[in-house]
Structure 1
Amino acid sequence: MAAQDNVKKVNKSAASGNGVISFFKELKAETKRITWASKENVKKATATVMTFCVIYVIIVGLLDFGFKNLIGVIFK
């Protein structure tokens, strides 16, 4: 029975127009609390990710090339 009371309270507040307005006010307050990374840290992280992506692409390309040649030799 207590769970039903809580559901009714939630439905009443969500049904009113103030729910949407309060949501955006709370969203704005939470956004102000975020600790954003510095520009330098973002640049370093981006460079690291890009470097690992390039390394991964090279490794997968070499494996693909090698397996393609291996299959060609096997089925020749």
Structure 2
Amino acid sequence: MAEHDNAKKVKKQVTPEGGFFNFFKGLVAEFKRITWPSKENLKKVTISVIAFCSIYVVIVGIIDFGFNSLAKSILK
């Protein structure tokens, strides 16, 4: 049965008009459809991401310091 399914597969043909240049034409068309955020919205989102990352770094640093101290006290 697997041999029968393989016989039905058709190879894709590469056409000269499709390909590299049409990819970039489609890319430009997709970029025109994008709704870009306003400057104020972008600033708010950027500040919130930086704040979240800073808080995350502090929390992970505290946990790392705790585990490091625990490992040193156990291995002494």
TM beyond 0.5: yes
Cα deviation for residue 3 of structure 1 reads: 6.9
> What is the aligned length?
69
Q: Distance in 2 between matches of 1:68 and 1:43?
A: 37
| Greater relative CO, 1 or 2 (CA 8 Å, sep 6+) | 1
Q: Distance in 1 between matches of 2:21 and 2:71?
A: 63
* TM score, norm. by length of structure 1: 0.68
What residue number does 1:30 align with? 30
> CA 1:74/1:23 → structure 2, altered by over 3 Å: closer, same or farther?
closer
Q: Which has the higher helix share?
A: 1
* TM score, norm. by length of structure 2: 0.68
Q: Note the 1:1-76 alignment, pairs <5 A.
A: 4=10, 11=13, 14-16=14-16, 18-19=17-18, 20-76=20-76
In structure 2, what residue type is equivalent to 1:39?
K
Gaps of 5+ in 1: none
Q: Which one is further off, 49-58 or 26-35?
A: 26-35
